[in-house]
């Protein structure tokens, strides 16, 4: 019986340690914004229309604070203390209103989880 109690106690301490580690490493909203800007710069710029792909990374770099505001306005964060879910709906028009004249600018939906100090994008789809 002592072995069972000892094993249960060790498992409890281990689970508590894992939960504490998750809580301490749960990334904040600001870290998500930086992650999202980097993903836009690295991934979305490659798909920019009309030859804008070469100018897109510089645009993102020059307008990071504004892009972060757009990301914040269009992201729903569900914080569960040990991890967070982020659901983001972004359109090119929201980021670059001057391109509103271009027809057919897509909107994208992203779902990301923040865990152990990192972000994992698990769904990205065009609406």
The whole model's pTM is what? 0.80
CB 84 within 8 A of CB 76: no
Task: Quote the number of domains for the chain.
Answer: 1
Regions of the chain short of the pLDDT cut 70: 49-50, 92-94, 96-105
Q: What percent of the chain has pLDDT over 90?
A: 41
- Answer whether 72's CB lies under 8 Å from 33's CB: yes
Q: How crowded is the C-beta side of 90, counted as CA atoms within 13 Å?
A: 22
pLDDT for the residue 101:
58
**71: containing domain:** 2-126
pLDDT of residue 99: 60
Report which secondary-structure segment, H or E, holds 75.
Answer: strand 75-79
Instruction: Quote the tokens at residue 125.
Output: 């789809």
33 vs 65: CA distance, rounded Å: 9
According to the model, what pLDDT value does residue 105 have? 65
């Amino acid at each position: 019986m002592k072995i069972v109690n000892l094993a249960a106690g060790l498992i409890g301490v281990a689970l508590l340690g894992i939960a504490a580690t998750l809580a301490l490493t749960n990334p904040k909203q600001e870290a998500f914004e930086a992650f999202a800007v980097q993903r836009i710069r690295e991934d979305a710029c490659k798909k920019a229309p009309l030859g804008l792909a070469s100018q897109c990374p510089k645009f993102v770099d020059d307008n990071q604070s504004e892009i972060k505001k757009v990301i914040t306005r269009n992201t729903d964060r569900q914080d569960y203390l040990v991890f967070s879910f982020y659901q983001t709906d972004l359109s090119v028009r929201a980021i670059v209103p001057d391109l509103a004249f271009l027809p057919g600018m897509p909107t994208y939906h992203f779902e990301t989880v923040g865990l152990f100090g990192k972000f994992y994008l698990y769904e990205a789809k065009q609406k």
